[in-house]
């Protein structure tokens, strides 16, 4: 009878152990973050990566391959899309962005795993008696809440994947805007240099005419002031050219020698003849990065609320003990189970649950607000684009042709000895000023188009357009 009881207890223990192990194996299926698959999918999306390929350079061979490709690009003139590809190949900042996301995704996936069981080993000696203890414990609450934890982790992994796509899109958008700024600064500097040269000759001529008695002091000072203004404008254009070029170099990740060899186009690309139409930008705003991110945050808060509703009450630990006692050669064993329960006497977890519920409600309202903002932001971005396009078109079709006509007429009058050289230079300066404004208008239009598609995607670039004062288009006609 006693032997049968022992055999039954042993069978029960084996079955219990088997159940514990089986449960651990079944429930330990972990959530994973497929970083490489995400990069491959993003590379296939032309709306995010318009050219080149996003590669996380982990090994030395990968880094060397990217650097060799970058050297080939730097041998030629670097256009807008070549600049994008160059950043993907060279920029340490962009590589850091990728690996930071790998950290985010890995930690997000980790939240879907239960804590590892704890094994305690002990050895106790008392006289001739030596006791070896083994105690294995794990949290039952972790097991019970594992399905909810996995759902939360899956949402967090989706959020990390979305952040990767949004961050890559944002980095490329920022690079494209920086390229526009650098090329426009190059073009403006060239015009400012031409104006400086012309007015330098004008000021020198005025000085000599004053010495010869053919010009009054006030007329000579007028010419000198024009030259001084051109000197200041050239200095400002030179500094703007330097700062915008260096900003682009930093974003590209180029070294000093590579930055010196960077060749940019001499002029911005032309503005399309027809503007983007409202029907061309119709898009499901629910697919914007920020809307999807806000929705995922809300869903994660709901999953967390379900977990908090359980874990805020109590915690349960299940332990299995197996001790071996050696008493001067006489071996005996002890086996048993322990359950440790945190009793909610002083703290029932009400505040934790209230905080979790409030967080869920907060994120719900944040999601609603993001959805409401989306349409308004698109309308503002499109309005800014159309304004910039109309101004650029006005300069191209109206102001520049009129300034060209005035310069041609000034040439005819100068050849006919109706006006002098200073009036001719004034007409040339007015045309150069209009051309500089036209460059700014073109830059604003191209940048506004990039910003519009960025807003449509839900990635705010926070760009600022260069203003063009209407007074700059007029020339005083004193005398």
Q: Which one is predicted more confidently, 20 or 395?
A: 395
User: pLDDT tens-digit profile of 204-256?
Assistant: 888 888 888 887 888 888 888 988 999 999 999 999 999 999 999 999 999 99
Compute the C-alpha angle 127/132/135, nearest 5°. Answer: 140
Nearest Cα to Cα of residue 25 among 151, 148, 153, 138:
138
* Domain CATH number, residue 318: 1.20.1600.10
Q: How far is CA 376 from CA 36, 276, 371, 373, 386, in A?
A: 36, 18, 9, 5, 15
Mean pLDDT of 317-323: 76
Compute CA 467 distance to the chain's CA centroid, rounded to the nearest angstrom: 26
Alpha-carbon distance values, 264 to 84, 151, 224 (Å): 13, 49, 34
Question: Which of 63-72, 271-280, 340-349 bottoms out in mean pLDDT, i.e. has the lowest?
Answer: 340-349
Backbone angles phi, psi at 393, to 5 degrees: -65, -40
Residue 388 has a pLDDT of 93
pLDDT category, 163, cuts 50, 70, 90?
A: very high
At residue 469, the pLDDT reads 58
Rounded CA separation 388/401 (Å): 19
pLDDT for residue 474: 42
Question: Picking from 19-28, 245-254, 312-321, 411-420, which range would have the lowest pLDDT averaged per residue?
Answer: 19-28
**Residues pairing with 336 in the sheet:** 321
The arithmetic mean of pLDDT across residues 85-102, rounded, is 93
In a domain, 215, yes or no: no
Q: How many domains does the chain have?
A: 1
Residues 6+ apart with CB under 8 A from 286: 292, 295, 371
* 308-333: b (≥16 Cβ within 10 Å) or e: bbebbbeeebbbbeebebeeeeeeee
Decide if 450 contacts 173 (C-beta within 8 A): yes
pLDDT recorded at residue 15: 45
pLDDT of residue 303: 82
75 pLDDT tier (thresholds 50, 70, 90): very high
Q: Is residue 20 over pLDDT 60?
A: no
In a domain, 297, yes or no: yes
Residue 478 or residue 451, greater confidence: 451
165 pLDDT more than 90? yes
Asked whether residue 14 is domain-assigned, the answer is no
In percent, the amount of the chain with pLDDT more than 70 equals: 88
195 contacts 229 by C-beta, under 8 angstroms:
no
3-state secondary structure of 130: strand
What share of the chain has pLDDT > 90, as a percent?
35
Residue span of the structural domain in which 442 resides: 29-192+234-473
Cα 71 from Cα 56, distance rounded (Å)? 18
Cβ within 8 Å of residue 134, ≥6 positions away: 119, 120, 121, 321, 322, 323
Q: Which residues pair with 125 in a beta bridge?
A: 130
Per 3-state DSSP, what percentage of the chain is helix, strand, and coil (rounded to 5)? 70, 10, 20
For the cut 50, the answer to whether the pLDDT of residue 377 exceeds it is: yes
pLDDT band for position 26 (cuts 50, 70, 90): very low
Q: How confident is the model at residue 168 (pLDDT cuts 50, 70, 90)?
A: very high
With a cut of 50, say whether residue 476 has pLDDT above it: no
Structure-block tokens of residue 345: 């006497």
Cα of 30 vs its chain's centroid, Å: 29
Whether residue 441 contacts residue 391, with contact meaning beta carbons closer than 8 Å, is answered with: yes
Whether 323 and 333 have beta carbons less than 8 Å apart is answered as yes
Tokens of 126: 């008392």
The answer to whether residue 10 sits within a structural domain is no
257 Cβ contact list (under 8 Å, min separation 6): none
Question: Is 408's pLDDT higher than 70?
Answer: yes
> Residues 412-430: what's their mean pLDDT?
83
Cβ within 8 Å of residue 79, ≥6 positions away: 265
Looking at residue 461, its pLDDT comes to 62
pLDDT over 60 (residue 30): yes
CA–CA separation, 422 and 223 (whole Å): 8
On whether residue 391 sits in a domain, the answer given is: yes
Helix or strand or coil: residue 138? Answer: strand
Q: What's the distance, CA 42 to chain centroid? A: 14
With respect to residue 203, please indicate whether it lies within any of the assigned structural domains: no
**DSSP, res 286:** G
For 111-124, what is the mean pLDDT? 81
Quote the mean pLDDT of the chain: 83
pLDDT at 9 over 60: no
pLDDT at 12: 42
């Amino acid at each position: 009878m006693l032997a049968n009881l022992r055999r039954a207890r042993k069978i029960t223990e084996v079955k219990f152990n088997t159940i514990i192990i089986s449960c651990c194996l079944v429930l330990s299926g972990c959530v994973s973050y497929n970083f490489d698959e995400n990069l491959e999918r993003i590379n296939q999306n032309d709306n995010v990566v318009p050219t080149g390929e996003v590669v996380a350079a982990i090994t030395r061979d990968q880094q060397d391959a990217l650097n060799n490709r970058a050297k080939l690009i730097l041998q030629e003139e670097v256009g807008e899309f070549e600049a994008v590809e160059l950043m993907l190949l060279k920029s340490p900042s962009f590589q850091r962005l990728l690996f930071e996301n790998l950290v985010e995704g890995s930690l997000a996936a980790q939240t879907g795993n239960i804590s590892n069981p704890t094994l305690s080993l002990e050895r106790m000696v008392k006289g001739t008696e030596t006791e070896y203890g083994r105690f294995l414990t794990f949290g039952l609450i972790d097991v019970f809440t594992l399905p909810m934890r996995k759902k939360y982790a899956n949402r967090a992994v989706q959020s990390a994947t979305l952040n990767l796509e949004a961050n890559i899109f944002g980095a490329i958008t920022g690079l494209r805007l920086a390229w526009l700024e650098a090329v426009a600064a190059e073009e403006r500097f060239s015009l400012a240099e031409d104006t400086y040269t012309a007015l330098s000759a004008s000021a020198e001529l005025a000085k000599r005419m004053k010495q010869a008695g053919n010009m009054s002091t006030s007329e000579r000072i007028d010419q000198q002031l024009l030259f001084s203004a051109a000197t200041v404008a050239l200095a400002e254009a030179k500094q703007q050219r330097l700062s915008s070029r260096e900003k682009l170099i930093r974003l590209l990740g180029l070294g000093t020698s590579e930055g010196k060899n960077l060749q940019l186009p001499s002029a911005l690309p032309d503005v399309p003849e027809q503007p983007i139409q409202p029907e061309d930008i119709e898009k499901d705003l629910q697919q914007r990065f920020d809307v999807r991110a806000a929705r995922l945050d809300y869903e994660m808060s709901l999953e967390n609320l379900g977990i908090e509703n359980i874990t805020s009450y109590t915690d349960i630990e299940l332990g299995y003990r197996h001790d071996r006692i050696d008493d001067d050669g006489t071996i005996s064993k002890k086996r048993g189970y322990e359950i440790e329960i945190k009793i909610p006497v002083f703290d029932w977890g009400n505040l934790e649950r209230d905080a979790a519920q409030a967080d869920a409600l907060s994120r719900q309202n944040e999601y609603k607000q993001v959805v409401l903002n989306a349409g308004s932001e698109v309308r503002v971005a499109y309005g800014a684009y159309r304004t910039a396009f109309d101004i650029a078109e006005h300069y191209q079709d109206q102001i520049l042709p009129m300034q060209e006509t005035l310069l041609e007429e000034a040439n005819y009058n100068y050849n006919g000895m109706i006006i002098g050289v200073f009036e001719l230079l004034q007409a040339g300066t007015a045309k150069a000023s209009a051309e500089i404004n036209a460059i700014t208008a073109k830059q604003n239009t191209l940048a506004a188009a990039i910003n519009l598609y960025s807003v449509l995607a839900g990635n705010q670039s926070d760009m600022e357009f260069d203003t063009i004062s209407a007074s700059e288009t007029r020339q005083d006609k004193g005398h």
